């Protein structure tokens, strides 16, 4: 039994309504609250037996959603919430149908656009995913996740986009870099976004590696876990190699002591000595 889709699990905020609520809105919010608690419990539970019990309760929510939808077949909040829930539990085909219907009825929901982009990306329909992500960004221009999804789309399908003449190489790299940069800027505490932005310098020909080094240094200052700090220092050493600063590499790597990082450390030290 698969529970969580790797792309969509972040996309589950409560849909809120105005002060005056209908019975449908009250029922929907009640399901959402219980759903949120169950997903959190599942993520925090380590006992397989208890996890399975929680999964059963999560999947049973589908019956409640179906009952609510049967009485509100064109209610957009119900369609969206039920569709996102089905995406969470990996019932992709049914989720896609609901979200497409919601999008056709009211095409101004960035969550829906983003999730539809996710579906298309997972099916390698990169040309169809692109406008959904761009629409999500246009509708919610300060949402980091949407830029992050766009950056990943452009990265994983860069060859296809260029071959199909959606972008030139230069334009694609710029769009991808800008997407990761904005994701990091709009969520400055999200280390995953900052890390991916720093990595994007590797992806771009003729990137300014001095700026990349500054980014890895900023990340190190924000990092509290010692192993993560050592991993960041590997990146710093790698960037120094790319800049020709071989003499500083051994000093940076001296503090990399984690056993799991020794192989990469030795490769960088060897490269530094070869290039001197």
- Asked whether residue 15 carries a pLDDT value surpassing 90, the answer given is no
Q: What pLDDT score does 1 carry?
A: 42
- Asked whether residue 162 carries a pLDDT value surpassing 90, the answer given is yes
Give the residue-averaged pLDDT of 137-143. Answer: 97
Q: Output 250 or 20, whichever has higher pLDDT.
A: 250
Q: Output 131 or 2, whichever has higher pLDDT.
A: 131
Q: What pLDDT score does 17 carry?
A: 46
Residue 165 φ/ψ region, left for φ over 0, alpha for ψ in the -120 to 50 degree band, beta for the rest? left
Q: Where in the chain is the domain with CATH 1.25.40.10?
A: 107-188
- Asked whether residue 178 carries a pLDDT value surpassing 50, the answer given is yes
276 band by pLDDT with thresholds 50, 70 and 90 = low
- Asked whether residue 248 carries a pLDDT value surpassing 70, the answer given is yes
Q: What pLDDT score does 257 carry?
A: 94
Q: What pLDDT score does 274 carry?
A: 78
Q: What pLDDT score does 9 carry?
A: 36
Name residue, tokens 């790597």: 253
11 band by pLDDT with thresholds 50, 70 and 90 = very low
The continuous run of DSSP H or E covering 110 comes out as helix 110-122
Give the residue-averaged pLDDT of 85-100. Answer: 91
Percent of the chain with pLDDT over 70: 92
Total length of the chain: 276
Superfamily of the domain at 107-188: Tetratricopeptide repeat domain (1.25.40.10)
Nearest to 32 by CA among 81, 98, 86, 76: 81
Alpha carbon separation from 263 to 171, 245, 253 (Å, rounded): 36, 21, 12
Please provide the average confidence, as pLDDT, over all residues in the chain.
Answer: 90
């Amino acid at each position: 039994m698969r529970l969580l889709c790797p792309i969509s699990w972040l996309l589950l905020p409560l849909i809120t309504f105005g002060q005056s609520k209908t019975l449908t809105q009250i029922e929907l919010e009640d399901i959402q609250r219980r759903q949120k608690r169950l997903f959190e419990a599942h993520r925090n539970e380590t006992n397989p037996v208890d996890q399975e019990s929680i999964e059963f309760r999560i999947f049973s929510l589908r019956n409640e959603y179906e009952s609510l939808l049967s009485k509100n077949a064109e209610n957009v909040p119900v369609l969206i919430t039920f569709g996102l829930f089905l995406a969470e539990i990996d019932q992709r085909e049914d989720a896609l149908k609901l979200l497409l219907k919601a999008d056709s009825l009211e095409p101004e929901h960035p969550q829906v656009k983003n999730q539809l982009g996710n579906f298309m990306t997972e099916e390698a329909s990169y040309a169809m995913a692109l406008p959904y992500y761009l629409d999500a960004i246009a509708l919610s221009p300060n949402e980091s996740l949407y830029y992050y999804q766009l950056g990943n789309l452009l990265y994983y399908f860069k060859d296809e986009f260029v071959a199909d003449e959606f972008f030139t190489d230069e334009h694609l790299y710029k769009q991808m870099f800008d997407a990761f940069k904005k994701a990091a800027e709009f969520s400055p505490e999200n280390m995953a976004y900052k890390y991916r932005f720093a990595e994007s310098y590797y992806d771009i020909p003729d990137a300014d590696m001095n700026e990349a080094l500054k980014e890895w240094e900023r990340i190190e200052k924000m990092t509290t876990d010692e192993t993560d700090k050592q991993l960041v220092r590997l990146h710093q050493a790698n960037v120094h190699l790319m800049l020709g600063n071989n003499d500083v590499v051994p000093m940076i790597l001296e503090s990399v002591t984690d056993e799991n990082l020794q192989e990469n450390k030795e490769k960088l030290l060897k490269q530094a000595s070869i290039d001197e």
